[in-house]
Amino acid sequence: DTEVTQTPKHLVMGMTNKKSLKCEQHMGHRAMYWYKQKAKKPPELMFVYSYEKLSINESVPSRFSPECPNSSLLNLHLHALQPEDSALYLCASSQERRWARGSDEQFFGPGTRLTVL
């Protein structure tokens, strides 16, 4: 099973709402990632979890709060977002962060398309 799943597929929220995005993988991967992608741009890294610990935060505003409850699950909690936060939010996973020794392919979920009104 080489699948990363994400829910919901689409989300529309107001600027005062609180919502959460969910990501799940059952490939035994120990690294999980959140990316944000705007139209016609490549994905931008937001957060990296390695062995369930936050290892990289790319200076993301605090209105985005990641959580890794266990090795298979990754959440992104959203609060007080702005319209410019509307984007495709992609979750990815990889076997482990052993880039120094070779390939470390990341597998992406289908994404959550978020619209902030």
Task: Note whether 9 binds another protein by CB under 8 A.
Answer: no
Q: Is there binding between residue 109 and another protein (CB under 8 A)?
A: yes
- State in angstroms the smallest separation of the CB of 80 from another protein: 27
Q: Give residue 16's Cα distance to chain centre.
A: 21
102 binds another protein (CB under 8 A): yes
Residues 6+ apart with CB under 8 A from 75: 20, 21, 22, 23, 66, 67, 68, 69
C-beta separation of 65 from 79 below 8 A: yes
90 binds another protein (CB under 8 A): yes
Smallest gap from Cβ 18 to another protein, in A, equals 25
Per the listing, tokens 């495709």 go with 88
- Of 72, 75, 95, 106, the residue at the interface with another protein (CB under 8 A) is 106
* Site size toward another protein, by CB under 8 A: 22
d(CA 81, CA 95): 31
Binding site for another protein (CB under 8 A): 41-43, 45, 48, 56, 88, 90, 97, 99-100, 102-111, 113
